[in-house]
Amino acid sequence: MYYPLYFDSTMIILIPAMILTMYAQGKISSAYSKFSRIRTASGYTGMQTARYILDSNGLSNVRIELVSGKLSDHYDPRTRVLRLSNDVYYGTTIAASSIAAHEVGHAIQHANAYVPLKFRNSLVPVVNLASNLAWVFIFAGMFFAAMPSLFTIGVIMFSASVLFQIITLPVELNASSRAIKMLGETGILSPSEIPQGRRMLNAAALTYLAAAAAAISQLIRLLALRDRHSR
């Protein structure tokens, strides 16, 4: 979530995104809580799910590691390592299999040179630098009223973060689509369990939509603040 510089009338721009973010967080928490209590008929753990699907797609070279935290699961394209949280790694639930398959979806995207993923990964170093410097320039532009160009530079840098959030959404949706398809084809989830897995991943996707909405809203607010300070 992108937090406001200060409270003023432009805060109204952020309210819809704030509401969506709170709704998305509640949705993912509720879905994870529900589907982490429902065991799959196949009895596969998240680790077994990931390993089976990886091997079935010729990705036996991708390692699976245990990582601390809750919902901290991710695929690292730099090291070709898929990291699963404890509950997902050892869990035999709808949530565990769905999340593990989703992360495998990213590994398959990487192996297939999926263009949106390549583009997002190429933005990482730029975003890491720009997101930190953006606020320095924005605050400097607000403090030094005679130098509005500093604010503009900060807004341009912040735009890199917005672009990153926007491109993340189709990448995540594609990974979830791959996950559901593979869970069905492998039989790890039965036909009656597939809708539950889809609901789990749809709830997760909502958090990425909220993040994109928050970034866009903050950018619009920054543009409004810039125009105000340039008058």
Residue pLDDT, tens place only, 80-115: 999 999 999 999 999 999 999 999 999 999 999 999
Burial class, 109, CB count within 10 angstroms (exposed 0-12 / middle 13-18 / buried 19+): buried
Instruction: Say if CB 89 and CB 70 are below 8 A apart.
Output: no
Residue 47 inside a domain? The answer is: yes
Predicted pLDDT of residue 7: 60
Predicted pLDDT of residue 147: 73
Indicate if the pLDDT at residue 203 is higher than 90.
yes
Indicate if the pLDDT at residue 167 is higher than 60.
yes
Predicted pLDDT of residue 40: 98
Mean pLDDT of 35-47: 98
Residue 2 inside a domain? The answer is: no
Residue 3 inside a domain? The answer is: no
Predicted pLDDT of residue 10: 84
Residue 63 inside a domain? The answer is: yes
- Domain assignment of residue 213, given as a range: 9-230
Residue 89 inside a domain? The answer is: yes
Percentage of the residues of the chain whose pLDDT score is greater than 70: 95
Residue 18 inside a domain? The answer is: yes
DSSP E strands in the chain: the ranges are: 63-67, 74-76, 81-85
Residue 1 inside a domain? The answer is: no
What is the rounded (10 degree) CA torsion for 41, 53, 168, 90?
50
Residue 4 inside a domain? The answer is: no
Q: pLDDT band for position 49 (50/70/90)?
A: very high
Burial class, 7, CB count within 10 angstroms (exposed 0-12 / middle 13-18 / buried 19+): exposed
Indicate if the pLDDT at residue 229 is higher than 70.
no
User: Catalytic annotation on 65?
Assistant: no
Q: How far apart are CA 18 and CA 111, in angstroms?
A: 36
Q: How is residue 157 written in tokens?
A: 């840098």
Indicate if the pLDDT at residue 117 is higher than 80.
yes
Residue of 103, 172, 185, 193 marked catalytic: 103
Number of folded domains in the chain?
1
